Structure 1
């Protein structure tokens, strides 16, 4: 069923036999060489493909036993298969099938677990920095500055991570990210309480900003692997399956980030250094699996030399979706990252909640967001006949997203509830509004995560995704800085400041909707259930 890579010089056409029951006329066939796969075509009862460019060491290490037949990669059942063994090849035993499936999915499992452990620490360290800065007396604007290099690093890192992933593979970017996270968390052990005093505030801001920069680089290097591996293990024509896989891993990642928010807030109530120590252990737990279980060739581009200039020559839909992503995440971080936790803690104009309560609210938001994102294909889009998603689906949900921040802006700026500090009414308005935004944003994010993987070039997926998440980081940076300034300086008090943050959020959500119109993907139309068709 396959061919040994070491016996096939680069450029040699090889043929893999396929079952006689295999009947396929579409595109997207692949031949797999260990963790690498290349385009192939069906010729009679064989599949023809070209061996990828690999150096000798890599060939021996990662490209054995085989060019797996395209039928196997596609999960085409032979005549001996059964519903419970979907994807088994003709004359293939159940044990052989499981071994083949495990070999194909092992990179996904290892990278996903490492990614989830890392994400828990990412959420926790952000919560620790936010609440510790508030406790020491730093303002919202000063705290927003602390996260500036975290987001700037994301802009630069996503560009370079795409280049690194294309040239040196996902394993390199993943391990580099985990190592930098250790350094960033370790650096925070040096944060001195005395730096909050007059005359030393700048020292505190610079130090924490530098530590956060390392964590920002780490996050985007690690995220690259978590996002790209789904494309590498899912055949192009399995779009519905790809949507579910991408939504699940992205949503579960966000849920774990929410868990991290709560862990960070809860551990901080005991001791600042204790909280940081827990995070170091979680990062260390993720590293051994990546070191021993991943191929150095995973995710490498093979058809051309990748240069920095290549990163800016993206496909039209990747460019447009990246701009839409900028505004989408700018809309969320226009109020979420700094203003909201500060408002929940503020005892003079806000709700005056304790750190654990604030952490629980933010954790609940992220966990719900992650779970909705995970189940969006099955529970939201499939019943509405909108799966797999396309341009029109994103337009619909992006437009609906404007409703939630508009409602909150009106309530904060146009009613006496917040001005008179009616605590029960404030919570009764704010929490449902945040819940609505959370659900709508999760659906949008799920569709976005699918579309970028769908539009990415299989041979340059790391580069495409890196460019896309560069735009994501720019949106987060813009939202964080603008929100810190609005919350601190706009209006007479922080109620007005938070209200103007939501006004800005509406503007960014509307801009994301407008940009999405430019995507060139008119296939599929738009339906809302079995009886209502909005776009044919």
Structure 2
């Protein structure tokens, strides 16, 4: 990367802090999912564990943009890191003697706090790209690098969480993550370079709602895109793999934890690597903003084919088989590549569509839509897998991608593309 404007050091500091945060976020998700699945929680109960996490994301993103505009980006970054440390420490207080209902409620509340933390950190880092990166293709490259590297780190977090659960158990693993993230918070507090803007006293809360139709339609497309991913990603596929790989014995459980963690890690790392390479794959240097916006509908239409085909295969298979499991693995890796291109393109477009004056509020609004999609996907993941198994889970994902395709088409009415990408 050759473009290094003023504030580059601040960008690197924010990115490093965000990496550390996402490592613990990925590990915590895998720890919670696999630990409570091994305790006998149903798919719907597992989905409930993450519902408040996603609800918190909707509320936090809507308000975080205003908070950052009012008090400055560093305030939201520090708050996010601090709340994640608190959430990790709180999770260690879970008592195995509690009833299932009490355990679900407690973990939901802790996950809610973690969801607030995650979206404060995300909004801070994504907004910093718009403020510090060069315009044009440079903006796409910087946002793709941040988003791709973040997801690769989160993928390592999945692997870390599954491995730590198998080797050390639940509480020691969570305590270790809290200690590491707490140390990073202290380093960031003491050594944050200058470069990020402070707040503005005259910002009104109602300014978070965008009047830009391109921002609004892109946000709608984001709801359905991420809902489609989480329909299978949160509960369905991990539990399907667990059912295939484990016979319920402690040895088989540990082996299943490792194998599921490895697959989820590979998926997210591949996803992050493709996101980082998206500008080169989409040839962004030779295409305008309008061209890239027009290409978004093509890429989401291509993505639709993968879950639709997998849903049909799962339906006709009638249950877990060796060939179906192999097909699901290959299909979901292909889904990851195509999803990464869609996600990276959206992440660039929201920054291209907004202005420096509105960046925190438009980015907050956009990631509120992202969180709403994850919330819908999380709830549907447990419900569809419990009542219709893998076919309904993947079929629902295909339907949501179709709705994203319809939404993204509205953006193209606002922009006349020069040439197709």
TM range (shorter): over 0.9
User: Structure 1 CA distance, aligned partners of 2:239 and 2:66?
Assistant: 37
1:46 counterpart residue number: none
Partners of 1:466 and 1:176 lie apart in 2 by 15
Q: Over residues 37-63 of structure 1, what are the superposed CA-to-partner deviations in whole Å (9 max), with x where a residue is unaligned?
A: xxxxxxxxxxxxxxxxxxxxxxxxxxx
The answer to whether the aligner puts 1:365 opposite 2:267 as a matched pair is yes
Task: Kindly report which structure 2 residues correspond to 1:442-521, keeping only aligned pairs within 5 A, or say none.
Answer: 442-490=340-388, 497-519=389-411, 520-521=413-414
CA contact (8 A) 1:121 1:282 kept: no
Change (3 A) 1:229 1:383: closer
CA distance in 1, matches of 2:213, 2:231: 27
> 1:106-128: per-residue Cα shift (whole Å, max 9, x none)?
11011000000000000000000
Q: CA deviation at 1:296?
A: 8.6
TM-score computed with the length of structure 2 as normaliser = 0.93
Cα displacement (A) at 1:347: 4.4
User: Aligned Cα RMSD in Å?
Assistant: 2.3
Q: Which residue pairs with 2:415 in the alignment?
A: 522
Q: 8 Å contact 1:113–1:286 — kept in the other structure?
A: no
Q: Which string of whole-angstrom CA distances, capped at 9 and with x for unpartnered residues, describes residues 119-144 of structure 1?
A: 00000000000000111111110010
Q: Do the aligned partners of residues 383 and 212 (structure 1) sit closer, same or farther apart at CA in structure 2, a change above 3 Å counting?
A: closer
> What do the CA deviations read for 1:338-360 (whole angstroms, capped 9, x no partner)?
11111110149999861000000
SS of residue paired to 2:17: helix
Which residue of structure 2 aligns with residue 12 of structure 1?
none
Q: SS at the partner of 1:458?
A: coil
| Consecutive unaligned residues in structure 2, runs of 5 or more | none
Of 195, 206, 220, the match for 1:309: 206
Pair 1:296–1:382, CA change in 2 (3 A): closer
Measured in 2, the distance between the counterparts of 1:348 and 1:356 equals 10
Correspondence for 1:266: 163
Pairing 1:341-490 to 2, within 5 Å after superposition? 341-347=238-244, 354-378=256-280, 380-382=281-283, 386=287, 390-414=292-316, 416=317, 419=319, 421-423=320-322, 425-490=323-388
Equivalences for 1:4-83 in 2 at 5 Å?
none
Aligned partner of residue 346 in structure 1, secondary structure: helix
Identify the residue that residue 93 of structure 1 maps to in structure 2.
none
Distance 1:125 1:382, change over 3 A: same
Which sections of structure 1, spanning at least 5 residues, go unmatched?
1-83, 88-100, 491-496, 529-536
Partner of 1:276: 174
Measured in 1, the distance between the counterparts of 2:380 and 2:59 equals 20
Larger radius of gyration: 1
Partners of 1:387 and 1:441 lie apart in 2 by 21
Counterpart for residue 110 of structure 2: 211
Q: TM-score, normalised by structure 1?
A: 0.73
Whether the 8 Å CA contact 1:326–1:472 is kept in 2: the answer is: yes
SS of the residue corresponding to residue 94 of structure 2 reads coil
* 1:187 counterpart = 2:79: no
For 2:275 and 2:178, how far apart are their aligned partners in 1? 28
Task: Classify 1:123/1:301 alpha carbon distance in 2 versus 1 (closer, same or farther; 3 Å).
Answer: same
In the TM superposition, residue 315 of structure 1 has moved relative to its aligned partner by 1.6
Q: 1:297 to 1:230 in 2, by over 3 A?
A: closer
User: What's the offset of the Cα at 1:382?
Assistant: 1.4
**Superimposed CA distance per residue, residues 455-498 of structure 1 (whole angstroms, 9 cap, x where no aligned partner):** 112112111100100000000000100111111123xxxxxx12
Supply the distance in 1 between the matched residues of 2:202 and 2:314 (Cα, whole angstroms). Answer: 53
The answer to whether the Cα contact below 8 Å between 2:7 and 2:194 also exists between their aligned partners in 1 is no
1-structure distance, mates of 2:245, 2:164: 26
Which secondary structure state, in structure 1, belongs to the residue aligned with residue 152 of structure 2? helix
Inter-partner Cα distance in structure 2 for 1:294 and 1:171: 9
Q: Is the 8 A contact 1:369 1:439 kept in 2?
A: yes
Corresponding residue pairs, total? 413
Q: 1:297, CA displacement in angstroms?
A: 8.4
Which among 138, 151, 159 is matched to residue 41 of structure 2? 138
Q: Whole-Å Cα distance in 1 between the matches of residues 33 and 282 of structure 2? A: 35
CA gap 1:386/1:134 in 2 versus in 1, 3 angstroms: farther
| Structure 2 contact 5–132 (Cα < 8 Å) conserved | no
